[in-house]
Amino acid sequence: MCGIVAYVGNRESYPVILKGLKRLEYRGYDSSGVAVISDKIEVYKKQGKVAELEESLLGIPMKSTIGIGHTRWATHGEPSDRNAHPHISKSGRIAMIHNGIIENYAALKLELLKKDYTFSSDTDTEVLLNFIEDIRKHNACSLEEAVRIALKRVVGAYVIVLLDLENPDTLIAARKGSPLVIGIGKNEHFLASDASPIIEYTKEVVYINDYELAIVKGNELILKNLGNEVITPFVQKLDMELAAIEKGGFNHFMIKEIFEQPQTIFDCLRGRLDLTRSDIMMAGVEKYIDELKNANRIIIVACGTSWHAGLIAEYIIEELCRIPVEVEYASEFRYRNPIVNKGDVIFAISQSGETADTLVAIERAKEQGAIIFGILNVVGSSIARISHAGAYTHAGPEIGVASTKAFTAQLVVLTMMAIKIAKEKQTISEGRFVQLMEELSAVPDKVAAILKDTYVVERIAAKHATASSFLFLGRGYNFPIALEGALKLKEISYIHAEGYPAAEMKHGPIALVDENLPVLFVATKDAYHQKVISNMQEINARKGKLIAIVSAGDHTIDALTDDIIEVPEADELIAPIINVIPLQLLSYYIGVSRGLDVDKPRNLAKSVTVE
């Protein structure tokens, strides 16, 4: 969370930083700010979105070729102008932006208070900044040296970038646990939380590792470790186009990303699913095939929507591969002393590859000897770098805070992996293997068919947009889809929603049902179909407002409700990838009709890099 951008070079820094902040706003949008150097350090910050900062700065000349900017997701201290970044040191000679959390900030603050430091914000960032300034003062050392000394005392996660009046042509940056990319231009450097602010200017980037310090001028980039040893930067080429991070004619990133799914799913299958040779090619799976097929257990760790993908994978892997699977919230797994044995394989599922809980959970498991397999969207992300192997989802940059195309791509990758392992393990027949491959290859067209006509979903969204609560129900492979439908609606529309296994409803949630409650069933044809119809009858008998997602041509429940969304029929293992699409659309249209900012829902951020 929090987005950081910085620039040093030969152009004016403010326009570069402002544009970068807009691209990173998905990471946090409580407040934003910039700092540039004239004859002093000038700091401008504002509560609210980046557009509000931009407006407040109209007409202010910003003639500086160096600068730092920040868009915030509040941790320490409420969203406000004074807690916004950049922060400025007591002397006014250093400014700093920070993404992460300084866990021992209270102890550091106490030390500074004893030395008569005062603070103008409630943030851990201002404490760290003054701690650095204090070290520089007392050791009469360079800022670089002071940062190095300070970071040895810091507990927590950070990316920091500092602007120094003593060296107005140099930025100092450091990272631990939060992402930092440096773009290399001609006599200029761009620093950012991800590549999106950089892509427009250069494709040459360096991903900074934990415990590394960068000393950056327009024409020079020096990397060092905290022991002051110089490290050779590893320059990589970005595989991303500018168009991928723009809205391309859609009103919101979320709807653009929903509509991209026929293509992203196709991209995810491309080069992997080989129908002519009846094989699935996944380099990471092939490399670790013995460990995977002989795994005693697969433990899946993830958060949010990625955790829902993990639940579906549990059902599929156990069905096809006969390997026991456990699905864990990363935030629980990391703190509860879990048993991880030799022969266990961990799957880490994450769109961003930066989620702090997932990252730490797999570090713990790795220490205990587990093989770590990452199912990730962002290439070169922190989780990618500590995994033994993995498979990218190739969904392209996902900017909308609500995950949509990354989820379907995760399901495609996990399903391909399960089928491949099952084939190698000989737990499925050749016939079933080929059938599932064919089913997968048909998914892009089936998703496109749903997106061709969204009228029914829009009509249902309009009808229920004022509901105060929603229930989502499904069984088997569709139970996690019910959870995902509820999460999407909560995030985007702020309507209270719960997802449940349809049969579990009788054990409590049915008490909520009355004539005001919309109850959505994911009721496509599968082994549970008849049972789900019975559950619908139970809701109908209690006057709940039924909505159903059914297989095309299924008229079994026509008499129970008018709110029926038909989707193309698919094998029950593959159906979740298709069935989630109307739920994504439903939450989007409800959010829009309630006048909400669906790309930036309140209190949320795209990548959760704090615990």
Cite the active site residues: 2, 606
Whichever of 13 and 355 has its CB closer to ligand M6R, that residue is: 355
Range 337-356, binding ligand M6R (CB under 6 A): 350-352, 355
Least distance from ligand M6R to the Cβ atom of residue 256, Å:
15
For ligand M6R, the closer CB: 36 or 412: 412
Residue numbers 441-500 binding ligand M6R by CB under 6 A: 491
d(CA 458, CA 404): 18
Q: Is position 74 an interface residue for ligand M6R (rule: CB under 6 A)?
A: no
Query: Cβ of residue 359: shortest distance to ligand M6R, in angstroms?
Result: 9
DSSP-derived 3-state class of residue 229: coil
Tell me how far, at minimum, the Cβ of 381 lies from ligand M6R, in Å. Answer: 9
Q: How far apart are the first and last CA of the chain?
A: 10
Among 304, 380, 474, 499, binds ligand M6R (CB under 6 A): 304
- Closest residue to bound ligand M6R by CB: 304
How far is Cα 1 from Cα 611, in angstroms, rounded to an integer?
10
- 226 exposure class (CB count in 10 Å sphere: 0-12, 13-18, 19+): middle
Closest to ligand M6R by CB, 86 or 100: 100
- Residues in region 409-428 near ligand M6R by CB under 6 A: none
524-548: string of b/e by CB count within 10 Å (b at 16+)?
bbbebbeebbebbebbbeeebbbbb
CA distance 540 to 557: 11
Torsion of CA 109, 111, 114, 115, to 10 degrees: -100
- Please state the closest distance from residue 485 (CB atom) to ligand M6R, in A: 11
Size of the site for ligand M6R (CB under 6 A): 15
Does 303 bind ligand M6R (CB under 6 A)? Our answer is: yes
335-355 burial, b for 16+ CB within 10 Å, e for fewer? eeebebeeebbbbbbbbbbbb
With b for 16 or more beta-carbon neighbours within 10 A and e for fewer, the 60-86 pattern comes to eebebbbbbbbbbbbbbbebbebbbbb
Per DSSP, helices labelled H in 368-429 are 382-386, 405-425
Number of C-beta neighbours around residue 581 at 10 A: 26
Give min distance, CB of 405 to ligand M6R, in A.
11
Q: Which stretch binds ligand M6R (CB under 6 A): 38-46, 155-163, 401-409, 419-427?
A: 401-409
Of 327, 505, 590, 608, the one binding ligand M6R by CB under 6 A: 608
Contact call for residue 401 and ligand M6R (CB under 6 A): yes
Quote the least distance from Cβ 410 to ligand M6R, whole Å.
Answer: 8
Nearer residue to ligand M6R within complex by CB, 304 or 518: 304
Report the nearest approach of ligand M6R to the CB of residue 491 (Å): 6
Q: Which span sits near ligand M6R by CB under 6 A: 124-132, 269-277, 363-371, 398-406?
A: 398-406
Binding span for ligand M6R by CB under 6 A among 69-77, 216-224, 303-311, 539-547: 303-311
Of the candidates 348, 420, 337, which has an alpha carbon nearest to the alpha carbon of residue 386? 348
Q: Residue 553: what residue type? A: G
Q: Which stretch binds ligand M6R (CB under 6 A): 172-180, 240-248, 302-310, 518-526?
A: 302-310
By rule CB under 6 A, what string of x and - marks binding of each residue 572-591 to ligand M6R? --------------------
Q: Please pick, from the candidates 403, 454, 524, 579, the single residue that binds ligand M6R as defined by CB under 6 A.
A: 403
Angle (CA) 565 597 455, round 5°: 20
CA distance 329 to 302: 6
* For ligand M6R, the closer CB: 30 or 526: 30
Contact at 8 Å (CB) between 258 and 451?
yes
Out of 161, 313, 391, 402, point to the residue binding ligand M6R (CB under 6 A).
Answer: 402
**In 3-state terms, what secondary structure has residue 330?**
helix
Nearest to 576 by CA among 483, 506, 500: 483
Pattern 142-181, binding to ligand M6R, x per CB under 6 A? ----------------------------------------
- At its nearest, how many Å lie between ligand M6R and the CB of residue 89? 33
Q: Supply the minimum distance, in Å, between the C-beta of residue 493 and ligand M6R.
A: 13
Residues 288 and 388 sit within 8 Å (Cβ to Cβ): yes
- State the Rg of the chain over Cα: 25
Contact yes or no for 578/585 (Cβ under 8 A): no
Binding positions for ligand M6R, 355-384, rule CB under 6 A: 355, 358
CB of 300 to ligand M6R, least distance (A): 12
Q: Within 13 Å, how many C-alpha atoms sit on residue 105's CB side?
A: 21
Using the minimum distance from each CB to ligand M6R, give the nearer residue, 98 or 600.
600
* Only segment of 136-144, 299-307, 418-426, 493-501 that touches ligand M6R (CB under 6 A): 299-307
Shortest CA distance to 50 belongs to which of 77, 75, 73, 76?
73
193 binds ligand M6R (CB under 6 A): no
Residue 196 near ligand M6R by CB under 6 A: no
List the strands of the sheet with 230-231, edge to edge.
87-88, 94-102, 156-164, 171-176, 212-217, 220-225, 230-231
Cis preceding linkage at 480, omega within 30: no
Q: Using CB under 6 A as the criterion, which residues of the chain lie in contact with ligand M6R when the complex forms? A: 303-306, 350-352, 355, 358, 401-403, 491, 607-608
